[in-house]
A and B are shown apart, each in its own frame.
Chain A
Protein backbone atom coordinates (compact mmCIF):
# COMPACT_ATOMS: atom_id res chain seq x y z
CA UNK A 1 0.00 0.00 0.00
CA UNK A 2 1.03 3.58 -0.53
CA UNK A 3 2.68 5.43 2.30
CA UNK A 4 2.60 9.13 3.08
CA UNK A 5 3.54 11.10 0.00
CA UNK A 6 4.97 14.62 0.08
CA UNK A 7 5.72 16.98 -2.75
CA UNK A 8 7.87 18.56 -3.86
CA UNK A 9 10.86 16.69 -2.41
CA UNK A 10 13.02 19.77 -2.76
CA UNK A 11 12.03 23.40 -2.97
CA UNK A 12 14.29 26.39 -3.43
CA UNK A 13 12.76 29.82 -3.03
CA UNK A 14 14.00 33.37 -2.74
CA UNK A 15 13.45 35.20 0.50
CA UNK A 16 10.05 36.85 0.48
CA UNK A 17 8.39 34.35 -1.83
CA UNK A 18 5.42 32.23 -0.82
CA UNK A 19 5.66 28.43 -0.91
CA UNK A 20 3.14 25.59 -0.66
CA UNK A 21 4.03 22.08 0.48
CA UNK A 22 1.71 19.17 -0.12
CA UNK A 23 1.04 16.05 1.95
CA UNK A 24 -0.96 13.06 0.78
CA UNK A 25 -1.58 10.88 3.86
CA UNK A 26 -2.31 7.18 3.98
CA UNK A 27 -5.89 6.62 2.89
CA UNK A 28 -8.30 6.51 5.78
CA UNK A 29 -5.97 8.04 8.32
CA UNK A 30 -7.87 10.49 10.47
CA UNK A 31 -4.89 12.19 12.09
CA UNK A 32 -2.38 14.30 10.21
CA UNK A 33 0.64 16.06 11.67
CA UNK A 34 3.17 18.53 10.29
CA UNK A 35 6.66 18.72 11.77
CA UNK A 36 9.68 20.87 11.01
CA UNK A 37 13.14 19.29 11.21
CA UNK A 38 16.28 21.40 11.32
CA UNK A 39 19.60 19.86 10.37
CA UNK A 40 20.83 17.52 13.10
CA UNK A 41 17.72 17.93 15.23
CA UNK A 42 14.61 15.93 15.97
CA UNK A 43 11.29 16.80 14.32
CA UNK A 44 9.43 19.69 15.95
CA UNK A 45 5.64 19.74 15.98
CA UNK A 46 3.89 22.40 13.92
CA UNK A 47 0.22 21.53 13.66
CA UNK A 48 -2.34 18.71 13.91
CA UNK A 49 -5.53 17.88 11.99
CA UNK A 50 -8.26 15.47 12.89
CA UNK A 51 -10.01 14.96 9.57
CA UNK A 52 -10.53 18.51 8.26
CA UNK A 53 -10.43 20.17 11.68
CA UNK A 54 -7.19 21.84 12.73
CA UNK A 55 -7.19 21.03 16.44
CA UNK A 56 -3.71 22.19 17.39
CA UNK A 57 -1.60 24.84 15.70
CA UNK A 58 0.47 25.71 18.73
CA UNK A 59 3.74 24.85 17.00
CA UNK A 60 3.40 27.18 14.02
CA UNK A 61 6.29 29.66 14.43
CA UNK A 62 4.50 32.73 13.12
CA UNK A 63 1.39 33.91 11.33
CA UNK A 64 3.30 33.46 8.07
CA UNK A 65 2.64 29.72 8.44
CA UNK A 66 -0.75 28.40 7.46
CA UNK A 67 -2.01 24.84 7.03
CA UNK A 68 -5.23 23.39 5.72
CA UNK A 69 -6.86 20.04 5.07
CA UNK A 70 -10.18 21.05 3.51
CA UNK A 71 -11.57 17.60 2.68
CA UNK A 72 -9.93 15.63 5.44
CA UNK A 73 -7.34 13.98 3.22
CA UNK A 74 -4.65 15.98 1.38
CA UNK A 75 -3.07 18.76 3.43
CA UNK A 76 -1.11 21.82 2.37
CA UNK A 77 1.36 23.78 4.46
CA UNK A 78 1.82 27.31 3.18
CA UNK A 79 4.56 29.69 4.18
CA UNK A 80 4.19 33.31 3.20
CA UNK A 81 7.01 35.83 2.80
CA UNK A 82 9.64 33.17 3.45
CA UNK A 83 12.67 33.95 5.57
CA UNK A 84 16.06 32.22 5.70
CA UNK A 85 15.22 30.70 9.08
CA UNK A 86 12.38 28.81 7.39
CA UNK A 87 14.96 26.59 5.69
CA UNK A 88 14.40 23.07 7.03
CA UNK A 89 12.86 19.72 6.18
CA UNK A 90 9.09 19.72 6.57
CA UNK A 91 7.72 16.32 7.51
CA UNK A 92 4.14 15.16 7.31
CA UNK A 93 2.87 12.19 9.30
CA UNK A 94 -0.47 10.43 9.45
CA UNK A 95 -2.01 7.86 11.77
CA UNK A 96 -5.33 6.00 11.94
CA UNK A 97 -6.17 7.83 15.15
CA UNK A 98 -4.20 10.22 17.29
CA UNK A 99 -2.81 7.58 19.67
CA UNK A 100 -1.48 5.15 17.07
CA UNK A 101 1.95 5.05 15.41
CA UNK A 102 2.62 7.93 13.09
CA UNK A 103 3.76 7.14 9.54
CA UNK A 104 6.04 9.80 8.10
CA UNK A 105 6.61 10.95 4.56
CA UNK A 106 10.11 11.58 3.19
CA UNK A 107 9.65 15.29 3.72
CA UNK A 108 10.15 18.43 1.67
CA UNK A 109 13.57 20.02 1.96
CA UNK A 110 13.02 23.78 1.78
CA UNK A 111 15.93 26.10 1.10
CA UNK A 112 15.44 29.85 1.25
CA UNK A 113 18.09 31.90 -0.52
Chain B
Protein backbone atom coordinates (compact mmCIF):
# COMPACT_ATOMS: atom_id res chain seq x y z
CA UNK B 1 0.00 0.00 0.00
CA UNK B 2 1.03 3.56 -0.72
CA UNK B 3 2.35 5.48 2.32
CA UNK B 4 0.39 8.57 3.28
CA UNK B 5 2.13 11.91 3.62
CA UNK B 6 0.98 14.93 5.53
CA UNK B 7 0.59 17.78 5.07
CA UNK B 8 0.01 17.94 1.31
CA UNK B 9 1.51 21.40 1.07
CA UNK B 10 3.42 23.83 3.27
CA UNK B 11 4.32 27.49 2.76
CA UNK B 12 7.11 28.88 4.92
CA UNK B 13 9.17 32.00 5.33
CA UNK B 14 12.94 31.62 5.25
CA UNK B 15 14.20 30.55 8.64
CA UNK B 16 11.01 28.79 9.73
CA UNK B 17 10.80 25.09 10.55
CA UNK B 18 8.64 22.37 9.01
CA UNK B 19 7.78 18.74 9.67
CA UNK B 20 6.61 16.29 7.02
CA UNK B 21 5.08 13.01 8.09
CA UNK B 22 4.93 9.65 6.32
CA UNK B 23 2.66 6.87 7.60
CA UNK B 24 2.09 3.33 6.46
CA UNK B 25 -0.68 0.83 7.18
CA UNK B 26 1.78 -2.05 6.95
CA UNK B 27 4.98 -2.83 8.81
CA UNK B 28 7.89 -0.65 7.78
CA UNK B 29 11.46 -1.86 7.60
CA UNK B 30 12.94 1.19 5.99
CA UNK B 31 11.96 4.64 4.77
CA UNK B 32 13.62 6.57 1.95
CA UNK B 33 13.28 10.33 1.59
CA UNK B 34 13.66 12.24 -1.69
CA UNK B 35 13.23 15.84 -2.80
CA UNK B 36 12.16 16.75 -6.32
CA UNK B 37 12.22 20.20 -7.88
CA UNK B 38 9.92 20.98 -10.77
CA UNK B 39 11.10 19.31 -13.97
CA UNK B 40 14.07 17.68 -12.28
CA UNK B 41 15.03 14.27 -10.99
CA UNK B 42 14.12 13.22 -7.46
CA UNK B 43 17.23 13.62 -5.31
CA UNK B 44 18.03 11.19 -2.53
CA UNK B 45 18.11 12.71 0.96
CA UNK B 46 18.42 9.79 3.37
CA UNK B 47 17.42 6.24 4.26
CA UNK B 48 16.31 5.18 7.70
CA UNK B 49 16.76 1.48 8.28
CA UNK B 50 16.01 0.78 11.90
CA UNK B 51 13.18 1.64 14.17
CA UNK B 52 14.09 4.67 16.21
CA UNK B 53 16.89 5.66 13.88
CA UNK B 54 17.48 9.33 13.37
CA UNK B 55 19.61 10.85 10.68
CA UNK B 56 20.41 14.26 9.41
CA UNK B 57 22.64 16.38 7.29
CA UNK B 58 22.85 20.12 7.23
CA UNK B 59 19.55 21.21 8.77
CA UNK B 60 17.43 18.37 7.44
CA UNK B 61 16.91 15.37 9.68
CA UNK B 62 14.51 12.47 9.95
CA UNK B 63 13.25 9.96 12.45
CA UNK B 64 11.72 6.52 12.05
CA UNK B 65 9.23 5.04 14.52
CA UNK B 66 8.85 1.41 13.56
CA UNK B 67 6.12 0.71 16.09
CA UNK B 68 3.98 3.57 14.86
CA UNK B 69 4.85 2.70 11.25
CA UNK B 70 5.76 6.25 10.49
CA UNK B 71 8.65 8.53 9.69
CA UNK B 72 9.02 12.29 10.00
CA UNK B 73 11.28 14.67 8.08
CA UNK B 74 12.38 17.81 9.92
CA UNK B 75 13.52 20.92 8.07
CA UNK B 76 15.09 23.45 10.40
CA UNK B 77 15.70 27.12 9.62
CA UNK B 78 14.46 26.57 6.08
CA UNK B 79 16.30 28.06 3.12
CA UNK B 80 14.94 29.02 -0.29
CA UNK B 81 16.75 25.99 -1.73
CA UNK B 82 14.56 23.67 0.34
CA UNK B 83 11.57 24.41 -1.89
CA UNK B 84 10.33 21.41 -3.81
CA UNK B 85 8.22 18.30 -3.39
CA UNK B 86 9.27 15.79 -0.77
CA UNK B 87 8.49 12.11 -1.18
CA UNK B 88 8.85 9.24 1.21
CA UNK B 89 9.30 5.78 -0.25
CA UNK B 90 8.87 2.40 1.36
CA UNK B 91 9.98 -0.99 0.03
CA UNK B 92 7.46 -2.94 -2.01
CA UNK B 93 6.39 -6.46 -1.20
CA UNK B 94 8.83 -8.17 -3.57
CA UNK B 95 12.42 -8.23 -2.43
CA UNK B 96 13.72 -6.22 -5.36
CA UNK B 97 14.38 -2.83 -3.81
CA UNK B 98 11.46 -1.20 -5.60
CA UNK B 99 9.97 1.71 -3.74
CA UNK B 100 6.35 2.64 -3.18
CA UNK B 101 6.20 6.43 -2.94
CA UNK B 102 3.76 8.64 -1.10
CA UNK B 103 1.83 11.30 -2.96
CA UNK B 104 4.32 13.99 -1.98
CA UNK B 105 4.41 17.13 0.15
CA UNK B 106 5.02 20.39 -1.67
CA UNK B 107 7.15 22.84 0.30
CA UNK B 108 7.45 26.46 -0.74
CA UNK B 109 9.91 28.68 1.09
CA UNK B 110 9.44 32.40 0.57
CA UNK B 111 11.95 35.17 1.28
**Distance of B10 from chain A, by nearest CB (Å):** 16
Contact residues of A between 62 and 113, Cβ < 8 Å to B: 91, 95, 97-99, 101-107
A42 within 8 A of B: yes
Q: Interface size of B by Cβ–Cβ distance < 8 Å?
A: 24
B94 in contact with A43 (CB, 8 Å):
no
B97 in contact with A45 (CB, 8 Å):
no
A interface bracket (residues with beta carbon within 8 Å of B)? 20 to 34
When chains A and B are docked, how far (Å) is the Cα of A95 from the Cα of B41? Answer: 14
Closest residue to B41 on the A side, CB-wise?
Answer: A104
Judged by DSSP, the binding face of B is loop
> When A and B form their complex, what is the total count of cross-chain residue pairs whose Cβ atoms lie within 8 Å?
60
B103 in contact with A41 (CB, 8 Å):
yes
A18 within 8 A of B: no
Partner of A42, one of B95, B98, B103: B103
A33 in contact with B104 (CB, 8 Å):
no
A91 in contact with B42 (CB, 8 Å):
yes
Which residues of chain A have C-beta atoms less than 8 A from B81's C-beta?
Answer: none
A33 in contact with B97 (CB, 8 Å):
yes
When chains A and B are docked, how far (Å) is the Cα of A58 from the Cα of B100? Answer: 13
Partner of B92, one of A3, A45, A95: A45
Closest residue to B104 on the A side, CB-wise?
Answer: A42
When chains A and B are docked, how far (Å) is the Cα of A43 from the Cα of B99? Answer: 9
Partner of B94, one of A42, A58, A95, A101: A58
Known: A42-B102, A44-B101. A91 touches B96 (CB 8 A): no
B87 in contact with A56 (CB, 8 Å):
no
Q: What are 22 A-B pairs with beta-carbon distances under 8 A?
A: A4-B41, A33-B97, A33-B99, A40-B104, A41-B104, A42-B2, A42-B102, A42-B103, A42-B104, A45-B92, A48-B96, A50-B96, A56-B94, A97-B97, A99-B97, A101-B44, A102-B44, A102-B97, A103-B44, A105-B41, A106-B39, A106-B40
Show the binding face of A for B, using Cβ within 8 Å. 3-4, 31, 33, 40-45, 48, 50, 55-56, 58-59, 91, 95, 97-99, 101-107
Show the binding face of B for A, using Cβ within 8 Å. 2, 32, 34, 39-44, 47, 87, 89, 92, 94-104
